[in-house]
Amino acid sequence: MRTIQDELADVSLFAGLRPEHLALVAGCGRNVAHAAGEHLFREGDPADLFWALRAGKVAIELHAERRGALTVETLGEGEVVGWSWLFPPHRYAFDARVVEPVRAIAFDGACLRGKCERDHELGYELMKRMARLFSRRLAATRWQLLDVYGAPAAPGPV
C-alpha cells in the first residue's frame, strides 16, 4: 500500500523535493474523496486546505454577475488545487467545483505553514513552487477574461 509520501512523488508541485521535505509535507495530508457537484471552496472562504488530485477533475471558477460561473481552468490528476493557504490573508480567490468524482490528498494549510516557518528551506522551496502555480493560474484567468470580454462587439445597424 502506498503512503501519502509515495503519492506525492506523482504530483508535479512536489517533484524533486528532498525526501525529508516530502515527509514533512505528507505529515499535513490526509486522503479524501469528493462527489461531482461539491465545492471544495468558494471565493472568500478561509483558505485552510489545498488538494493534490489523485483522480477526477475540479473546475476553478470565477463568478461574473451577469454571466454566472466562468471556468478559468479545469484541473486533473497530479495537479494541485488551491494556493491561498500560503499567501495572506489566507482566503480563496476563486471557487473550486468538483466536475468528476475526486480522490485527493487534502493538506492542512496551517500545519504546513508552521512547518515552513520552522524549516525555511522547505518554506522557500514551497513558496517558489506555489508562486509558479499562482503565475500560471493568473495567466489562465487572463486568457479566459480576454475570451469573454475581448470578443468584438456585434455589428450594429449600418
**Domains (range + CATH), the chain:** 4-143 (2.60.120.10)
In this structure, the chain runs to a length of: 158
The upper half-sphere exposure of residue 132, i.e. CA atoms within 13 Å in the direction of its Cβ, equals 10
Q: What is the pLDDT along the chain (158 residues), one digit of tens a residue?
A: 889 999 988 888 898 999 999 999 999 999 999 999 999 999 999 999 999 999 999 999 988 788 788 888 899 999 999 988 888 999 998 999 999 999 999 999 999 999 999 999 999 999 999 888 878 777 776 776 676 555 555 555 65
* Per-residue confidence (pLDDT) for residue 134, from 0 to 100: 79
* Per-residue confidence (pLDDT) for residue 90, from 0 to 100: 95
d(CA 33, CA 18): 27
Could you tell me the CA-to-CA distances from 135 to 98, 127, 140, 141 in Å, in that order? 22, 12, 9, 10
Angle formed at CA 85 by CA 81 and CA 144, multiple of 5 degrees: 45
